């Protein structure tokens, strides 16, 4: 399958068959992920693989509890709409495998500068270091999604579960200095989602001379 076909056929799959994914297939996906470029080649990522139904259920329960707490703090007239939206946050629950990319920014430049650096520029440096880690890991994540399509697997990268990031980190043993980028539900697809609409190019692109 060529790249154009992969880009065209990739879908966010949220319903899966119960079949486990062989470890060799998961390793092929992760090999594709870690071949992605990263800022200064720091490769600031780690990839956690969760295949225990019990542990996946614990993750989903934590997300569901956080979502309910958020819903209770939303005006009543908006709660029903949020409830429908929040259901997507736990769509990884029945996947046979969940991949969790995590990352940590490399505080190099921010440790070198002293108090002579103006505060706005200091904040910009710190943001750059954090953002570089997330952006780099996201590049690897896209590689994983495309490789999954190439292998006939279904996958969905989800950021909604991050409303419970603190609880998820505890369940997964993620150190405080690391951040969860997404939860990726992975399995044999049990649905064939149609392509979703995309905004026209002229509405999202601006050429600057």
Q: CATH no. for residue 187? A: 3.40.109.10
Tell whether 148 is covered by a domain.
yes
Tell whether 129 is covered by a domain.
no
Distance CA 178, CA 175 (A): 6
Domain count, the chain: 1
Domain of 94, in residue numbers: 3-33+45-100+141-204
Question: H helices within the chain, ranges in order?
Answer: 3-9, 23-33, 53-72, 76-86, 109-112, 119-150, 165-172, 201-204
Length of the chain measured in residues: 209
pLDDT of 12-71, one tens digit each? 999 999 999 999 999 999 999 999 999 999 999 999 999 999 999 999 999 999 999 999
Tell whether 193 is covered by a domain.
yes
Average pLDDT, the chain: 95
How confident is residue 111, by pLDDT bands cut at 50, 70 and 90? confident
pLDDT of 130-144, one tens digit each? 899 999 999 999 999
Tell whether 113 is covered by a domain.
no
pLDDT of 149-162, one tens digit each? 999 999 999 999 99
Tell whether 56 is covered by a domain.
yes
pLDDT of residue 49: 98
pLDDT of residue 144: 98
How confident is residue 106, by pLDDT bands cut at 50, 70 and 90? confident
Tell whether 40 is covered by a domain.
no
pLDDT of residue 39: 93
Percent of the chain with pLDDT over 90: 90
Strand partners, 44: none
pLDDT of 176-194, one tens digit each? 999 999 999 999 999 999 9
For 60, phi then psi, to 5°, come to -65, -40
pLDDT of residue 76: 92
Tell whether 153 is covered by a domain.
yes
pTM: 0.92
Question: H helices within 34-118, ranges in order?
Answer: 53-72, 76-86, 109-112
């Amino acid at each position: 399958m060529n790249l154009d076909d992969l880009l065209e056929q990739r879908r966010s799959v949220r319903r899966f068959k119960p079949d486990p994914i062989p470890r060799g297939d998961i390793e092929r996906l992760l090999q594709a992920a870690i071949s992605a470029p990263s800022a200064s080649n720091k490769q600031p990522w780690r990839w956690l693989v969760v295949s225990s139904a019990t542990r996946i259920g614990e993750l989903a329960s934590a997300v569901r509890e956080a979502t309910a707490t958020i819903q209770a703090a939303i005006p009543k007239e908006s709660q029903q709409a949020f409830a429908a939206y929040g259901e997507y946050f736990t769509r990884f629950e029945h996947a046979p495998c969940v991949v969790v990319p995590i990352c940590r920014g490399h505080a190099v430049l921010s440790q070198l500068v002293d108090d002579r650096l103006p505060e706005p520029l200091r904040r910009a440096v710190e943001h750059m270091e954090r953002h570089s880690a997330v952006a780099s890991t996201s590049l690897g994540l896209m590689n994983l999604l495309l490789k999954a399509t190439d292998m006939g697997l279904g996958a969905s990268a989800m950021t909604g579960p991050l409303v419970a990031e603190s609880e998820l980190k505890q369940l997964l043993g993620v150190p405080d200095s690391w951040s969860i980028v997404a939860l990726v539900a992975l399995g044999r697809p049990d649905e064939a989602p149609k392509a979703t609409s995309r905004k026209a190019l002229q509405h999202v692109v601006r050429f600057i001379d």
